[in-house]
A and B are shown apart, each in its own frame.
Chain A
Amino acid sequence: MEPIIATRDLKKVYRLGKVEVRALRGVDCIVHEGELVAVVGPSGCGKSTLLHILGGLTCPTSGQVLVDGNDFTKMSDADRTRFRRHKLGFVFQRFNLLPTLTARNNIAIAQHIQGNGFNPHRFQAVVEMLGIQDKLDHRPYALSGGEQQRVAIARAVICDPKLLLADEPTGNLDTENSQAVLSMIRGLNKTFGQTILMITHNPEVAAVADRIIRMQDGRIISD
């Protein structure tokens, strides 16, 4: 079976003023459909850069990155945006909900951007699975961190993405909410076969994954 993620000698060099930052120094990795993979490593090891490249948010400097068979290095920004719209879901450490919209509309806007219209059955199934039925009319400021992250997960999976990318999803949560969110992520993977790549610096969080990729200094040091 073709992997959903395949990177080859992936490199990314940033320029911060006159300083060259080599964030990725040749990353080779394969992730198959249905896997729950954790990428761990200290701050600055390049895991966030890897997630941004896999999400089509930025381009690598060199190397190859195939996501669901699509080579991002050969795609235009518009094509990667289109791909992201239909195939990817993001969960961020800071939740990143739109502050002026209710939880319901924060979830529904993903369907709207995808352009397939509002799907009430899918919507109902997702909010029930995440247990946020009674929070749908609240705005983000009226929700706890755990509730906001559940809404963010609902938004990420509402369009049934091929790949869910989670960037430190429990980084801003207390232990109780972290456990709840992790069990939901695990549930998504086990119940619905959702492919998930999660980055974290916390080994306890990484422990819920089937597979752990360790990074250091822009390279994978163990898989």
Chain B
Amino acid sequence: MGNKLIVSNILHRPIRTVVSALAVAIEVAMVMLFVGLTHGMLDETAHRVEGVGADILVQPPGTSFLFALSQAPMPIKIGDRLKDLPHVLAVAPVLFNVISIQGLSVMYGIDMPSFVRVSGGFAYHAGGAFVNPYDLLVDDLYAKANHVKVGQTIQLLNHEFYLRGIVEHGKGARLFIPLQTAEDLLQVQDKASIFFVKCTEPSYTDDVSDAMHQLLPKYQVHPMKEYMSMMTSNNMPGLEACITVIVAIAVGIGFLVIFLAMYTTVTERTREIGILKSLGASKGYIIALILREADLLSAVGIIGGYGVAAVARKVILGVFPTLSVELTMEWAAYAALLALAGSTLGAFYPALRAARLDPVDALAYE
């Protein structure tokens, strides 16, 4: 019977119901999309680097594991010393740069033969490998996002590049140019930002990594597993705080909307609360009634929020194919719990106010 009263109250005020549920839906979608976007981009970046196929990454001293934040190059000759170590199959020097063409994209300057040895080569969707110094490869997602085709010329680093091929995504960067050309344009001769190292067998990774530490004690040597474990939001400076702030804002919106909705509801229904009290409804019964109504509104909003998040994800990926949005069950559950907690808290004061109403005054309320 309590449920019938709650449902009938919710249906009796459709505008209030829709607005409240919509606010909770936006709250849930906001949390899921923001977290999904940050985690998705991190995971996508990590998996792209992993997709190069290297077992070990070597970076210059004092650089960040976020490549985009660390472009300090190191002598390319180091690669020859690394190659001479036991169980090293191939070493690919890469000079990278972050370019801004319709958003930020990572570009690798690669030595094609060594990069192919480490990565196993590119899978071409169209075109083929570099022929000339100013040839460019882009991945399929970049091509889709920027509507480019093989044979086009693209302005990059103040030079015209010929788009020679479109490759399957997942090999470290979205754009690739020859290493020598990158060195010329970035005015760094015989330098590399990172070495991708492939071992003869993955089981030698730790041994090779130890040997590299001994050989280059000041350099950063990260086995791929270690690199992947570092690519989490916890390790991103300020990112966790940013997520917390966004989540707090979203929960705050839900809290305030539910508070306002339930506060006006209690005022509007003062007389009905008086009737329930005259029938012997306890304070607990009335509090539970208001909280359950708020939670039902919240539940409708949560389901709506899942729908909004799924649709928004499709739209985002359609408009920006290079982005990645991870909608996880874990964060769907967190968002639901946060929304429920927010709405319960938001409804608590109005519920308490309803429970404390004087029955005689409430029954006389016009």
Q: Interface of A with B (CB < 8 Å)?
A: 52, 55, 57-58, 78, 81-86, 88, 90, 92, 96-101, 105, 108-114, 118, 155
Q: Which residues of B contact A52 (CB under 8 A)?
A: 360
Taking a contact as CB atoms under 8 Å apart, the answer to whether B280 and A82 are in contact is yes
Taking a contact as CB atoms under 8 Å apart, the answer to whether A113 and B271 are in contact is no
Determine which of B9, B280, B363 lies in contact with A114 in the assembled complex, contact meaning CB atoms within 8 Å.
B280
Taking a contact as CB atoms under 8 Å apart, the answer to whether B4 and A113 are in contact is no
Given A90-B278, A110-B279, A114-B280, A100 and B8 touching (CB < 8 A)?
Answer: yes
User: In whole Å, how far is B58's beta carbon from the nearest beta carbon of chain A?
Assistant: 70
Top 10 closest pairs, chain A to chain B, by CB: A85-B280, A112-B1, A100-B8, A84-B280, A100-B12, A57-B359, A96-B275, A90-B278, A113-B279, A113-B281
Taking a contact as CB atoms under 8 Å apart, the answer to whether B360 and A57 are in contact is yes
Determine which of B11, B12, B360 lies in contact with A58 in the assembled complex, contact meaning CB atoms within 8 Å.
B360
- B217 is an interface residue with CB less than 8 A from chain A: no
B interface residue count range (under 10 / 10 to 19 / 20 to 34 / 35 or more): 20 to 34
Taking a contact as CB atoms under 8 Å apart, the answer to whether B285 and A113 are in contact is yes
Taking a contact as CB atoms under 8 Å apart, the answer to whether B8 and A96 are in contact is no
User: In whole Å, how far is A100's beta carbon from the nearest beta carbon of chain B?
Assistant: 4
Given A58-B358, A58-B360, A96-B275, A101 and B282 touching (CB < 8 A)?
Answer: no
Taking a contact as CB atoms under 8 Å apart, the answer to whether A81 and B358 are in contact is no
Taking a contact as CB atoms under 8 Å apart, the answer to whether A109 and B5 are in contact is yes
Given A52-B360, A57-B360, A96-B363, A86 and B1 touching (CB < 8 A)?
Answer: no
Q: How many contacts between A and B, using CB within 8 angstroms?
A: 74
Determine which of B2, B8, B279, B359 lies in contact with A85 in the assembled complex, contact meaning CB atoms within 8 Å.
B279
Taking a contact as CB atoms under 8 Å apart, the answer to whether A100 and B1 are in contact is no
- B222 is an interface residue with CB less than 8 A from chain A: no
Taking a contact as CB atoms under 8 Å apart, the answer to whether B278 and A96 are in contact is yes
Taking a contact as CB atoms under 8 Å apart, the answer to whether B359 and A78 are in contact is no
User: In whole Å, how far is B306's beta carbon from the nearest beta carbon of chain A?
Assistant: 28
Taking a contact as CB atoms under 8 Å apart, the answer to whether A98 and B5 are in contact is yes
- Interface of chain B, main secondary structure: helix
A222 and B286 CA atoms in complex are apart in Å by 41
- B111 is an interface residue with CB less than 8 A from chain A: no
Q: Which residues of A contact B276 (CB under 8 A)?
A: 98, 109, 113
Given A100-B8, A101-B4, A112-B2, A82 and B363 touching (CB < 8 A)?
Answer: no
Determine which of B4, B280, B363 lies in contact with A81 in the assembled complex, contact meaning CB atoms within 8 Å.
B280
Taking a contact as CB atoms under 8 Å apart, the answer to whether B1 and A108 are in contact is yes
- Other contacts beyond A57-B363, A58-B358, A98-B276: 20, CB < 8 A: A57-B277, A57-B278, A57-B359, A57-B360, A82-B282, A84-B278, A90-B278, A90-B279, A92-B278, A99-B12, A99-B272, A100-B5, A100-B9, A101-B4, A101-B5, A109-B5, A109-B279, A113-B279, A114-B280, A155-B279
14 A-B pairs (CB sep. < 8 Å): A57-B278, A81-B277, A84-B278, A85-B279, A96-B275, A100-B8, A105-B4, A105-B8, A108-B1, A109-B279, A112-B2, A113-B276, A113-B280, A113-B285
- B283 is an interface residue with CB less than 8 A from chain A: yes
Residue interface mask B6-24, A partner, CB < 8 A = 1: 0011011000000000000
Given A98-B272, A101-B5, A113-B285, A55 and B278 touching (CB < 8 A)?
Answer: yes
Given A52-B360, A96-B363, A109-B5, A81 and B12 touching (CB < 8 A)?
Answer: no
User: In whole Å, how far is B283's beta carbon from the nearest beta carbon of chain A?
Assistant: 7
User: In whole Å, how far is B64's beta carbon from the nearest beta carbon of chain A?
Assistant: 60
Q: Which residues of A contact B9 (CB under 8 A)?
A: 100
Q: Which residues of A contact B363 (CB under 8 A)?
A: 57, 92, 96
A84 and B359 CA atoms in complex are apart in Å by 12
A117, closest chain B residue (CB): B1
Q: Which residues of A contact B282 (CB under 8 A)?
A: 78, 81-82, 85
Q: Which residues of A contact B271 (CB under 8 A)?
A: 96
Taking a contact as CB atoms under 8 Å apart, the answer to whether A78 and B283 are in contact is yes
Given A92-B363, A100-B8, A105-B1, A86 and B280 touching (CB < 8 A)?
Answer: yes
A88 and B2 CA atoms in complex are apart in Å by 21
Q: Which residues of A contact B8 (CB under 8 A)?
A: 100-101, 105
A87, closest chain B residue (CB): B280
Chain B stretch 270-325: residues in CB contact (< 8 A) with chain A: 271-272, 274-283, 285
B282, closest chain A residue (CB): A81
Q: Which residues of B contact A108 (CB under 8 A)?
A: 1
